[in-house]
Amino acid sequence: MLHNRRAVTAFVRRAIETDSQVMLRALLVDEASRHLATLTVAEGPAALTAYDPAGLIEQAFLAAAAGLILVRGPLGMADLGLTPAEIAAALAVRRLGKPLNIHLLDCFAVATDPNQLYRRSTNHSFASSP
């Protein structure tokens, strides 16, 4: 179950241990926060905001997901914040998913080192904003 950011971070860290470049992943979950699938949305720094939000929502819909969590990693400590462009792309995902009852639950960056904490670069709440 992926009930909170700590559980998501631990889950993602296991997947990114061998990654050599930064990636954006979407974790698809059902209504009980059970993991359904992990999608690689973008690979490499240039692609982090160049993905198709509508295509991502379509994949979530086909998987019968109730929600998704966007996670960027692996990173160094200096890269743990989200850029304004990443936040804008995530907000587009949230806007497109809302009519289909597919909710963007969170979007954050995670480092491979468990001693490095995660943080958002903004106080924006993806789950509760209009």
7-63 pLDDT, tens digit per residue, is: 777 777 777 666 667 889 999 999 998 899 999 999 888 898 899 999 999 999 999
Q: Which domain covers residue 41, as residue numbers?
A: 5-109
In CATH, what number is assigned to the domain containing residue 38?
3.40.140.10
Residue showing tokens 């971070």: 9
Residue showing tokens 């497109």: 96
- The reply to whether 74 falls in a domain is yes
The pTM score is 0.81
- The reply to whether 124 falls in a domain is no
Q: Number of structural domains, the chain?
A: 1
- The reply to whether 104 falls in a domain is yes
Distances (CA, A) of 77 to 9, 22, 51, 111: 15, 13, 24, 7
